[in-house]
Amino acid sequence: MMLRTAKRRTVAVAVAACSRTARLSLLRRHLAQTRPVGAGGYKLVASDLDGTLMRDTGIPPWEQLPSERNQAAIQALLDMGVYFVPISGRMIPCMEPLLRATPGITQNPLSFIGGYNGGLVVGPSDGPGAANRPVLRQETLPAAAVEEAVRFCEQESLLMKIYHAKPDGSTGMSSVGEFLYDHEQAAFFANCGEFPYYPDDSLTQSMLDASTIAALRTCPYFIDRLPAYDAAAIAALRPYKIVCTTNDPDGMMAKVAATATQQDSYDTVRGNFWYEYMPKGINKSTGLQWLAESLGFGLEECVAFGDSSNDFEMVRDAGFGVCMDNGRDEVKAVAAHVSKYNNDEDAVGREIEALIAANAFDV
């Protein structure tokens, strides 16, 4: 793995430093070495959303659309018969606008989606809306993991956001606790289009403008504010994941590790002002591998785009992993290629165009 990572890093640095013509030439040579043996090229492209496919716009996530260039690149893949799979820590309803935005993708047989970092995989839609997508795979936190998470969060007075299924089978979010945040954190969440607490909270109102607050009140997936840190009640929801908001995610994750008794049943994943509890062994790589094998090929026949900690395994393990220029250093270190563009510069669209020009796909 160390030799493989070092080789990938060398190629990534070299490709990023070249002109477009030279990059295509170097990319073609690299693809010739990394394409699956016996295959004509890659069969599936997976992409993270926030910080990767989506620009940083401040629009609420349930209203975000990819740029025109990124939409056109996705459509080009679908027209070639290549699978395109958005895979994110988001819930499925917050990913549906992406599919509606691209002509022909909503009911396209190639339009699978991976939510909750690959813990929930749904298939092509048989009608409008996320609820019409068949659930193909779902992994939830076991009761022991939930109980430990709730006990820790109550002890530390952390806001918990619990992502789980609604009675109708669609997905949503409930919360318990409060989060006292500063202006830097408020600006971050406002830029993401999501806030970690009720928009009616007075502190929120003092930090956000009226239009943002109004948009947050339209959030379609918020379910309920839970009255207490009730481990049994929260476990009964069978959460896909639990997000804990904190201004010290590294410190909290260290505390979790030091006090854990059930850590063989869950993993923790770091965010900017939060950390997450996920079912053990569930990440974007395992979700993508499951889907690829279900479709009749392997993870080595996939291209994956990402930027953050929860993309690490997917970018590392895919046949051709690409990290955004704005990505975290640890993700860049395991990527086959580091884009010289960031998410606000349509990096995904540009890199797909380069891959198509390099005849990288099995068509």
* pLDDT tens, residue by residue, 13-36: 343 344 444 444 444 444 454 444
Q: Which two tokens stand for residue 171?
A: 């997905």
In a shared domain, residues 273 and 307: no
Distances (CA, A) of 295 to 136, 289, 315: 12, 10, 20
Give yes or no: residues 270 and 149 share one domain: yes
Q: Is residue 362 part of a domain?
A: no
Q: What is the mean pLDDT of residues 192-212?
A: 48
Assign residue 238 a region: left if phi > 0, alpha if psi is -120 to 50, beta otherwise? left
Name the more confident of 234 and 210. 234
User: DSSP states of 144-187 as a string?
Assistant: HHHHHHHHHHHHHT-EEEEEEE-TTS-EEEEEES-----HHHHH
> Is the same domain home to 36 and 131?
yes
Expressed as residue numbers, the domain containing 147 is 143-279
For 147-169, b/e burial (b = at least 16 CB within 10 A) is bbbbebbbeeebbbbbbbbeeee
Dihedral of CA atoms 270, 272, 277, 283 in degrees, nearest 10, equals -60
Q: Looking at the 3D structure of the chain, how many domains does it have?
A: 2
Domain annotation covers residue 363:
no
Indicate the pLDDT class of residue 51, thresholds 50, 70 and 90: very high
Q: How far is residue 264's CA from residue 277's CA, in Å, rounded to a whole number?
A: 12
**b/e string for 243-270 if b means 16 or more Cβ within 10 A?**
bbbbeebeebbeebeeebebeebbbbbe
pLDDT, tens digit, for every residue of 284-313?
999 999 999 999 999 999 999 999 989 999
pTM value surpassing 0.85 = no
Q: What is the pLDDT of residue 94?
A: 73
Is 324 a domain residue? yes
The amino acid at 84: F
Q: Are residues 129 and 175 in the same domain?
A: no
Tell me, yes or no, whether 173 and 275 share the same domain: yes
- The residue type at 74: I
In order of 221, 319, 338, the CA distances from 328 in angstroms are 29, 20, 11
Q: Which of 279, 310, 332 is the last residue of a domain?
A: 279
Do 160 and 274 fall within a single domain? yes
- State which of 279, 309, 335 marks the end of a domain: 279
Regarding predicted confidence, which is higher, 227 or 156? 156
Across 89-103, 151-165, 264-278, 344-358, the highest mean pLDDT is recorded for 344-358
Coil, helix or strand for 116?
A: helix
Three-state DSSP class for 141? coil
User: Domain for residue 76, yes or no?
Assistant: yes
pLDDT of residue 209: 54
CATH of the domain at 184: 3.30.1240.10
Choose the final residue of a domain: 249, 279, 309: 279
Calculate the dihedral angle through the C-alpha atoms of 211, 213, 214, 216, rounding to the nearest 10 degrees: 120
pLDDT in tens, 64-86: 788 999 999 998 998 899 999 99
Mean pLDDT of the chain: 78
Question: What's the confidence (pLDDT) of residue 52?
Answer: 95
Pair 159, 127 in one domain? no
At residue 245, what are phi and psi to the nearest 5 degrees?
-85, 130
Tokens read off for 100: 């509606």
Conformational region of residue 29, where left means phi above 0, alpha means psi within -120 to 50, and beta covers everything else: alpha
The answer to whether 320 touches 66, Cβ cutoff 8 Å, is: no
Are 132 and 149 members of one domain?
no
pLDDT of 37 strictly over 50:
no
Residues 254 and 168 in one domain: yes
Shared-domain flag, residues 74 and 163 = no
Tokens representing 72 are 């056109």
What pLDDT does residue 200 have?
46
- Per-residue b or e along 67-86, where b marks 16 or more CB atoms closer than 10 Å to that residue's CB: bebbbbbbbbbbeeebbbbb
CATH value at residue 120: 3.40.50.1000
Give residue 109's pLDDT: 65
Question: Is 61 within a domain?
Answer: yes
In a domain, 288, yes or no: no
Name the residue among 164, 137, 314, 313 with its Cα closest to residue 235. 164
Are 248 and 200 within one domain? yes
pLDDT for res 15: 35
- Structural domain contains residue 149: yes
- Whether 137 and 85 have beta carbons less than 8 Å apart is answered as no
Examine residue 295 and state whether it is found in any structural domain, yes or no: no
Residues 259, 350 within the same domain: no
* pLDDT for 89: 87
Q: Percent of the chain at pLDDT above 70?
A: 66
